[in-house]
Amino acid sequence: MSDYLVKALAFDGQIRAYAARSTETVSEAQRRHYTWPVASAALGRTMTAGVMMGAMLKGEDKLTVKIEGGGPLGLILVDSNAKGEVRGYVSNPHVHFDLNEQGKLDVRQGVGTDGTLTVVKDLGMRDYFTGQVPIVSGELGEDFTYYFATSEQVNSSVGVGVLVNPDNSIKAAGGFIIQLMPGTEEETISIIENRLKEIPPVSKLIEKGLSPEELLEELLGKENVKMLETMPVTFECNCSKERFSNALISLGADEINDMIKNDGQAEAHCHFCNEKYLFTKAELEEIEKETK
C-alpha cells in the first residue's frame, strides 16, 4: 500500500493531528543512499517528521530540517513541501551500533546530543523563517516535540519510528504529530497524556498494519477524531541535468575551461537522491558558450 498522511481534528477542534505511513518513502531513501540500520532510522524519523511538518504549509511553501547533533552520522538534511513530497540524506550513511539497553536501534548515539535541530521555512516571502533548538534527546521524536514547544510555542507530541529488517531494508516507518490548540481543556490534555503513556511505540503500531487513520484513533479514541483530508507521501527530488547545467554556467567561463582542459568532462552529484549527471566535453563547451 502506498504511503500517505492524514490530517485530522479531535475533541471538537481542541486538537490538531497528523499521522503518516512512510515505509516506501524511507525505503527509497535507504535504497538510494545504502544506509545502515542506525542511519536509516535517524534519516527515516527525520523524513517522517519533516513530511508531516510540510503538510502544515500551504501552496508552494517548503521547509528544510537540519539535524546537527555532533554524532557520527554527521548532518541529517531533509526537504519537504505542502504536497507530501520529501527528500533527505545523512552525511555518513554507513553508521550502525549494537542495540541499546531497550533492545532498539541506538539512534541517540548516532545522532549525538551536542548540537541543534534547525527548521527553515520558505513561505514565499523575502525572508525565511528560521527556528533552532538544542538537541535534547537524540532520539528525534522528543527533539521535534521540544522544537514545537520552544520555537513555535505549540504544545505537541511527536512520535516517529522506523523498523529495519536484518537485510537493511525498511520493514515499517511512520509517525504522528498531535498539537494542542489554544484553550484546550485540562481534561482533554489528561486523556491524551494517559493514552500516550499506554500505547506501544509508533513503529510497532505501523508494523501491526495500522493505517494513519487507525493510528490517530488509537492515540485519541475513535469517537473523538474527525479526519479532514489525506495526502500521498513520496520521495521526490527536484534535481535535474538542466539545474546542474545552470549551476555550471554560474561558475563562469574560466572554471568551465579548466574542466574541459584538465578532465575533459564533469560529473555532478545530487546529495539528496544520489543521482549523478555526466557532462561530456562537447556539453561543457556548449555550456561555456552560454556564459558569454
Rounded distance, CA 220 to CA 45, Å? Answer: 21
User: Can you give the residue range of the structural domain that contains 260?
Assistant: 241-290
pLDDT digits (tens, 9 = 90+) for 151-169: 999 999 999 999 999 999 9
Choose one of 235, 251, 270: the last residue of a domain.
Answer: 235
Query: Could you list the mean pLDDT of each consecutive 10-residue stretch along the chain, which spans 292 residues?
Result: 93 96 96 96 98 95 97 97 97 91 89 97 84 96 96 94 94 95 91 88 84 94 95 93 85 83 84 88 82 73
Number of domains the chain contains? 2
Report which DSSP code applies to 167: T
Does residue 138 share a domain with residue 269? no
Does residue 270 share a domain with residue 185? no
Does residue 246 share a domain with residue 210? no
pLDDT value, residue 1 = 64
pLDDT value, residue 247 = 84
CATH classification at residue 267: 3.90.1280.10
CB 4 within 8 A of CB 233: yes
Choose one of 235, 259, 277: the last residue of a domain.
Answer: 235
Does residue 92 share a domain with residue 211? yes
Angle at 178 between CA 127 and CA 13, to 5 degrees: 95
Rounded distance, CA 130 to CA 117, Å? Answer: 11
Q: Tell how strand 234-235 and strand 85-90 pair up.
A: parallel
Q: What is the largest CA-CA distance in the chain?
A: 72
- Grid cell 521524536 is found at 141
Assigned C-alpha cell, 271 = 546529495
* Cross-strand pairs, 70: none
pLDDT value, residue 261 = 85
pLDDT value, residue 255 = 84
